[in-house]
């Protein structure tokens, strides 16, 4: 099969993906409670695991006994830090740098994870990109294709590659967004990818039910990670980030990661096709 060319990065938000190492104040990703072996001997792939929500998930999974493959685009410093923190929890960590908008890279990530750890139990599809545009005409074809490739195509490619390794009891968790439920006037393409992710989650859960593989999603509200302050939102909106939620503040990654842990572990053994909403109290349809 010939590899389709990957669209180049959009030059509108040159600081994306942002570096957590340079973010001030720093996001809170540290697990808040002692582990209880919920993921003992499991192997998880966490895309976008270098920073933000993905870092909090990788470290929490390690605290619960998992080994973690941390996939990221190009933020080496953040990824190394996450690896160190996973290892401090007693977990094994593997780094994978690559553009997951490409089917080849996705297959390579899954192959390398399996080579290193010998199994895969949990796939967290969390990598994403976001470009603000108030005017529909400002969404270039390059940006549109790229946002869908990163946010949606990667989930198909990774799931296709991972399925051969997943057995009964495995879990897939996808990151969608509150923007999918509420709409977002300035994030037309991004929120549309998140709609696709929720629909994919529901359909895949039905498709894989008889194989004993559960598929769920998490729809965060405004969370303090590099994504928004580094270009995912206009700079003048950052001081008020999260203030319009009922709780009146942004969430921290360690307030979101426990949703992923719940969906990854047997605590949620009777749940599939569902979405959890760590979003500061915004009521959404489902």
Residues within the interface to Mg ion (CB under 5 A): 17, 50-51, 75
Among the listed residues 7, 50, 89, 189, the single contact to ligand NAD using CB under 6 A: 50
x/- mask, ligand NAD, residues 185-224, rule CB under 6 A, reads -----------------------------------x-xx-
Residue placing its CB nearer to Mg ion in the complex, 58 or 187: 58
Q: Please pick, among 72, 181, 190, 270, the residue that the annotation labels catalytic.
A: 190
With both helix axes pointing from N to C terminus, report the angle between 141-148 and 188-208 in degrees, rounded to the nearest 10: 30
Q: Does 126 bind ligand NAD (CB under 6 A)?
A: yes
For strands 122-125 and 93-97, give the pairing: unpaired
Residues in the chain: 286
What are the structure tokens assigned to 18, written together? 């942002």
x/- mask, ligand NAD, residues 56-95, rule CB under 6 A, reads ----------------xx-x--------------------
- Is residue 177 within 8 Å of residue 233, measured between CB atoms? no
Rounded least distance, CB 185 to Mg ion, Å: 26
- Is residue 180 within 8 Å of residue 197, measured between CB atoms? yes
Q: Does 278 bind ligand NAD (CB under 6 A)?
A: no
- Alpha carbon 223 to its chain centroid, in Å, reads 12
CA–CA distance, 11 with 87 (Å, rounded to integer): 35
Residue placing its CB nearer to ligand NAD in the complex, 113 or 126: 126
CA–CA distance, 151 with 100 (Å, rounded to integer): 9
Residue placing its CB nearer to ligand NAD in the complex, 34 or 283: 283
CA–CA distance, 50 with 71 (Å, rounded to integer): 7
Q: Does 227 bind ligand NAD (CB under 6 A)?
A: yes
Q: Does 174 bind ligand NAD (CB under 6 A)?
A: no
Rounded least distance, CB 168 to Mg ion, Å: 33
Cβ-count burial 40-65 (b if 16+ within 10 Å, e if not):
eebbbbbbbbbbbbbbbbbbbbbbbb
Residue placing its CB nearer to Mg ion in the complex, 50 or 89: 50
Rounded least distance, CB 126 to Mg ion, Å: 10
Q: Does 132 bind ligand NAD (CB under 6 A)?
A: no
Say whether 72 is catalytic.
no
Backbone angles phi, psi at 203, to 5 degrees: -65, -45
Cβ-count burial 230-246 (b if 16+ within 10 Å, e if not):
bbbbeeeeeeebbeebe
- Residues 134-153 touching ligand NAD, rule: CB under 6 A, are 150
Q: Does 226 bind ligand NAD (CB under 6 A)?
A: yes
- Is residue 263 within 8 Å of residue 171, measured between CB atoms? yes
CA–CA distance, 217 with 273 (Å, rounded to integer): 7
Closest-approach residue to ligand NAD (CB): 52
Q: Does 103 bind ligand NAD (CB under 6 A)?
A: no
280 binds, among ligand NAD, Mg ion, none (CB under 5 to 8 A by kind): none
Q: Which residues bind ligand NAD (CB under 6 A)?
A: 17-18, 47-48, 50-54, 72-73, 75, 99-101, 126-130, 150, 175, 177, 220, 222-223, 225-228
The residues that are catalytic are: 190
């Amino acid at each position: 099969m010939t590899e389709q060319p990957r669209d180049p990065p959009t030059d509108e938000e040159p600081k994306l993906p942002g570096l957590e190492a340079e973010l001030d104040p720093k996001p809170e990703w540290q697990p808040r409670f002692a582990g209880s072996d919920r993921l003992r001997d499991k192997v998880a792939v966490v895309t976008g695991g270098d920073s933000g929500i993905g870092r909090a998930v990788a470290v929490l999974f390690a605290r619960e006994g998992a080994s973690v493959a941390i996939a990221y685009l190009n933020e080496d410093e953040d990824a190394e830090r996450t690896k160190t923190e996973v290892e401090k929890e007693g977990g094994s960590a593997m780094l994978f740098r690559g553009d997951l908008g490409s089917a080849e890279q996705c297959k390579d990530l899954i192959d390398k994870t399996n080579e290193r750890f010998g199994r895969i139990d949990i796939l967290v599809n969390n990598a994403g990109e976001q470009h603000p545009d108030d005017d529909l005409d400002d969404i270039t074809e390059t940006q549109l294709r790229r946002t869908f490739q990163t946010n949606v195509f990667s989930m198909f490619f990774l799931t296709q590659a991972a399925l051969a390794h997943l057995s009964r009891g495995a879990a897939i968790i996808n990151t969608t967004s509150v923007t999918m439920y509420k709409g977002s006037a300035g994030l037309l393409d991004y929120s549309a990818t998140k709609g696709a992710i929720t629909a994919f989650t529901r359909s895949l859960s039905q498709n894989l039910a008889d194989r004993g593989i559960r598929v769920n999603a998490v729809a965060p509200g405004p969370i303090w990670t590099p994504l928004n302050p580094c270009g995912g939102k206009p700079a003048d909106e950052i001081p008020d980030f999260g203030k319009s939620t009922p709780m009146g503040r942004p969430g921290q990654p360690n307030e979101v990661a426990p949703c992923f842990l719940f969906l990854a572990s047997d605590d949620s053994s009777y749940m599939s096709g569902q979405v959890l909403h760590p979003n500061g109290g915004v009521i959404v349809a489902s």
